Amino acid sequence: MKMLERKELLPREIVEHLDKYIIGQNEAKKAVAIALRNRIRRQKLPKELAEEITPKNIIMIGPTGVGKTEIARRLAKLANAPFVKVEASKFTEVGYVGRDVESMIRDLVRVAIQMVKETYTKKIQKQAREKAIDRVLDILFPAPSMPDSSDDPRFPHYERMINLREEKRKDVENGLFDDRKIEVEVKKQASPQVIFDIVAGGTMDMFEDLKDGLSGLFEPPKKKSREMTVKEAIDFFTEEEAEKMIDMEKVKEEAIKLAENNGIIFLDEIDKITSRSSGGSGPDVSREGVQRDLLPIIEGSTVPTKYGIVRTDHILFIAAGAFHIAKPSDLIPELQGRFPIRVELHSLTKDDFVKILTQPKNALIKQYQALMETENVSLVFEKEAIETIAEYAYIANDSIENIGARRLHTIMEKLLEDILFKGPELSGTVVTVDKKFVEDKLKEIISKEDVGKYIL
């Protein structure tokens, strides 16, 4: 099986796709589009030359909530690439309490394994389901032992039962037995939880591979009976049969290649591991230690995982940070050199908020309208109401803390609180949100001195 299928999108097409979900920030979109296209170009080169071309890693600079994470996440989804988001501030230098920096590579490989497994599973789904139905039929209509020959007096009975099974098979496939309850044997595995109870906080990540390796070691897997419907049993058996049919060695091999050549790691809050991020005090040695621990992984090294050795040379790293106190030049020079592309994302304006509310495929207003439609309520927003919501979001960000587009989530929840609460009682009605409705709900809160208490 070949590596997961992916379209060779043009940089312009990549930006157009990102425009459907993220408002503005064209410089950042252009940078990631070029980075993605360069990957496609590299994979077409002779192997010797391709090995020499490393990704042009990117640092995104901008306040929270302006689209940094969303750009990286949507890019990975578009590229059908394994994606992991980690916060640099969660890491500490090896030897201190905290997360081992190599854990992000192990996380990336796990994501790749899941992606490849899902692809294999889709290909064998039909075959696995047929075997699952056979197992259900064995419970509902057990097949008799096959006689040695057709002369055996038991043969007519055997033939009738086989024909009956075939007839009933069609009924099972058509869902006529979906609600019938049957007893299914499931494996019950022991888990050495005591090991993990000793481990505290973030260091538990270091024992994830150990957990998988020791699961069931102290006590062999047991079986227990569980009652479920035929429909549930078919789904359960389909999953079991698919697991048996998948060649995990091939999955591992392909997943490692996928992670190495197409993986994207989003390294958030990178500004918080600079020495200046503490404002001149704090454990600067630890922060610089984190940078030095990250350096070999970003430069290109090998990381052992339970699935095999992973090379990090061609993984794309996208770092991000607000850089309010620190600046990219406060990172150690070696790390700066591994992020040659720097793009600035801008704070959101009132017009940006209007667009965020209405234009993207997953726009907030569209989400709330869809939610209310499930209860037969038509939720209508007038143009002036949307502009007023955007204005209040901008004011709240300006007067408290700038949290970008996330401000809209809290404002919309407060604005629609009563409508959402009364939803079932409003069935069959049209609810119109106009400017007056927005002002009545939000004006008093926005004008309060302790506004942060109400909209955080």
Please tell me whether 428 is known to bind a ligand: no
Residue 67 labeled ligand binder: yes
222 annotated as a binding-site residue: no
Cα(first)–Cα(last) distance of the chain, in Å? Answer: 49
Cβ contacts of 106 within 8 Å, gap of 6 or more: 208, 209, 303, 305, 306
Asked whether residue 432 is marked as a ligand-binding residue, the answer is no
Q: Strand, coil or helix: what is 341?
A: strand
- Under DSSP, is residue 231 helix (H, G, I), strand (E, B) or coil? helix
User: How far is residue 5's CA from residue 386's CA, in Å, rounded to a whole number?
Assistant: 40
Q: Is 201 labelled a binding residue?
A: no
Short-list 321, 330, 320, CA closest to 264 = 320
* Other beta carbons less than 10 A from residue 340's beta carbon: 12
Give the CA angle between residues 89, 93, 97 to the nearest 5°. 80
Count how many residues are written for the chain.
Answer: 456
C-alpha–C-alpha distance, residues 286 and 290, integer Å: 6
Is 334 labelled as part of a ligand binding site?
A: yes
Residue 325 tokens, joined? 């106190």
Residue 91 is classified by DSSP as B
Cα(233)–Cα(235) distance, integer angstroms:
5
* Ligand-binding site membership of 66 (annotated): yes
- Six-digit token pair at 298? 């970003």
The answer on whether 406 is annotated among ligand-binding residues is: yes
Q: Binding residue per annotation — 117? A: no
Q: How many CB atoms lie within 10 A of CB 290?
A: 27
- What stretches of 102-172 adopt beta strand conformation (E)? none
The C-alpha angle 50, 55, 61, rounded to 5 degrees, equals 170
- Per DSSP, the three-state class of 198 is coil
Q: Is 65 annotated as a binding residue?
A: yes
- Cβ atoms of 307 and 106 closer than 8 Å: no
3-class state of residue 67 by DSSP: coil
Phi and psi torsions of 267, nearest 5°: -100, 95
Known binding-site residues for ATP equal 23, 65-70, 268, 334, 406
Known binding-site residues equal 23, 65-70, 268, 334, 406
